[in-house]
Amino acid sequence: MAMQQERDGTLSGLFGRMYVVAVEGPIGKIWMESDGALITRSSFEVISGRNAKAPKVLLEAARQMDQYFKRRRKNFELPLQLHGTQFRELVRERLLAIPYGQTTTYGTIARTIGGKAIARTVGQACATNPLPILVPCHRVIAGNGLLTGYVGGLWRKQGLLELEGAIPPNLFPRRHMR
Residues sharing a CB contact under 8 Å with residue 30, sequence separation 6 or more, in sequence order: 22, 23, 42, 43, 44, 65, 132, 133
Q: Are residues 74 and 136 in contact, defined by beta-carbon separation less than 8 angstroms?
A: no
Phi then psi dihedrals of residue 33, to 5 deg:
-125, 145
Active-site hit among 18, 137, 160, 167:
137
Is residue 25 a contact partner of residue 69, using CB atoms and an 8 Å limit? yes
* Residue 137 appears among annotated catalytic residues: yes
Q: How far apart are the first and last CA of the chain?
A: 25
Q: Reduce the DSSP state of residue 52 to 3 states and report it.
A: coil
CA distance 154 to 148: 7
Catalytic residues: 137
